[in-house]
């Protein structure tokens, strides 16, 4: 297939997917801009990537809800600037993208805090509950939430719902279920938001550095990073992570919502950093013992989804005992 057809197809996808699928496609494409920019640099397709970013930006500003501009403007602007800026180590560019994500998060937080008068989690939970109550299948959704333990009822109403099912979810029963669901969602968002934020930052930094290096190796050039199974953690990074844990324990038991959020962000950063190191340990050890690549990837995916705490333990133990013997064999304290 001619190269110009593929390039035109990439630009067309960036413009048409948000129009066909809607807001979720636009958000996903915007979040993938860092990886796309760095890969296009390695593949010498800067013009194609720039055209795709411009098309995506135009669609987001003209056909998407106004709130999407909070994400579209800084991400597309940063994408254009990073296409022009050609210098920098892979991880330095990844950290630069992490800084862009922090700016986006700050802008989003300011807008949401102003919109919900200071309580973003409560406001988001209120909107979710309103959408459920006004939906066509609201009673069925409430019943499913009740059966999953996301909302509760008093004993006398509990018996009515068990006997009648969706038919009982009217009037007082519906109001109590909605109130209980609102409280559960607000509490869950306070816990999950820091995890989601840090996961996005970590993935942006790591993928925008690692995926372009894979593209570079596939094209026959020497990679700038070691293979994933040889990734290590430097003493400088370790000291920063220890400081994050200290901040976490200092503020997590306070009554100030902002400090509690900061503590949870610090705790999540510590957790995900060591989980990534644990994945590197798993990759390195399994590769050393001759495990087939497909089985290695399947094993790593299973641990990530079903046993993330195992990866955390592996990362902590490797940092202390050097399970892969990388520091022992090279006699240095290097890492990435």
Residue 104 lies in a domain: no
| 8 Å CB contact between 273 and 236 | no
Asked if residue 107 is part of any domain, the answer here is: no
| Residue 191 forms part of a structural domain | yes
Domain boundary among 185, 202, 224: 224
Q: Does residue 187 belong to any structural domain of this protein?
A: yes
Q: Which domain holds residue 232?
A: 226-336
What percent of the chain stands above pLDDT 70?
Answer: 88
Return all residues near 77 (Cβ < 8 A) that are at least 6 apart: none
278, 311 Cβ separation under 8 angstroms: yes
Report the number of distinct structural domains present in the chain: 3
**Contact residues for 4 (Cβ-Cβ < 8 A; gap 6+):** none
Model confidence pLDDT, tens digit, residues 5-56: 778 888 888 888 888 888 888 888 888 899 988 888 888 888 888 898 898 8
Rounded Cα gap, residues 201 and 95, in angstroms: 9
pLDDT, tens only, 221-261: 887 888 888 888 888 888 888 888 888 888 877 777 778 88
> Is position 111 within any domain?
no
Alpha helices in the chain (DSSP H): 3-21, 23-31, 33-42, 46-63, 69-84, 90-115, 120-134, 138-147, 155-164, 171-218, 235-251, 257-288, 293-306, 308-321, 326-330
Residues 172 and 259 in one domain: no
Q: Give the pLDDT confidence of 154-175 residue by residue, as tens digits.
A: 655 566 666 555 555 666 777 7
pLDDT computed for residue 124 by the predictor: 83
Residue 258, domain member (yes or no)? yes
**Interhelix angle 171-218/257-288, nearest 10 degrees:** 40
pTM: 0.80
Q: Provide CB contacts within 8 A for 323, sequence distance 6+.
A: 281, 285, 314, 317
């Amino acid at each position: 297939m001619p190269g110009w057809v593929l390039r035109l197809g990439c630009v067309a996808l960036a413009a048409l997917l948000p129009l066909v699928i809607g807001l979720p496609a636009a958000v996903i494409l915007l979040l993938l801009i860092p990886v796309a920019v760095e890969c296009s640099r390695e593949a010498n397709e800067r013009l194609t990537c720039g055209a795709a970013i411009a098309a995506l930006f135009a669609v987001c500003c003209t056909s998407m809800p106004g709130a999407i501009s909070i994400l579209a403007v800084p991400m597309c602007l940063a994408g254009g600037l990073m296409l022009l800026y050609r210098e920098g180590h892979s991880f330095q560019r990844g950290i630069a993208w992490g800084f862009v994500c922090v700016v986006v998060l700050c802008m989003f937080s300011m807008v949401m805090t102003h919109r919900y008068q200071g309580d973003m989690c409560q406001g988001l939970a209120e909107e979710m509950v309103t959408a459920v109550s006004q939906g066509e299948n609201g009673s069925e959704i409430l019943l499913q939430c009740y059966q999953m333990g996301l909302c509760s009822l008093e004993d006398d109403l509990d018996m009515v719902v068990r006997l009648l099912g969706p038919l009982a979810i009217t009037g007082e029963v519906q109001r109590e279920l909605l109130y209980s669901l609102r409280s559960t969602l607000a509490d869950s968002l306070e816990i999950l938001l820091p995890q989601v934020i840090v996961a996005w930052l970590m993935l942006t930094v790591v993928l925008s550095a690692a995926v372009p290096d894979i593209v570079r190796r596939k094209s026959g050039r020497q990679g700038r990073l070691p293979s994933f199974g040889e990734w290590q953690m430097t003493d400088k990074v370790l000291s920063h992570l220890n400081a994050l844990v200290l901040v976490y324990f200092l503020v997590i038991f306070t009554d100030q919502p902002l400090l509690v959020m900061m503590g949870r962000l610090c705790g999540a950063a510590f957790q995900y950093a060591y989980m990534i190191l644990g994945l590197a340990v798993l990759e390195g050890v399994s590769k050393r013992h001759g495990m087939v690549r497909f089985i290695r990837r399947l094993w790593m995916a299973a641990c990530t989804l079903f046993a993330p705490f195992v990866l955390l333990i592996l990362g902590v133990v490797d940092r202390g005992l050097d399970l892969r013997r990388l520091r022992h064999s090279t006699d240095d304290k290097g890492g990435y």
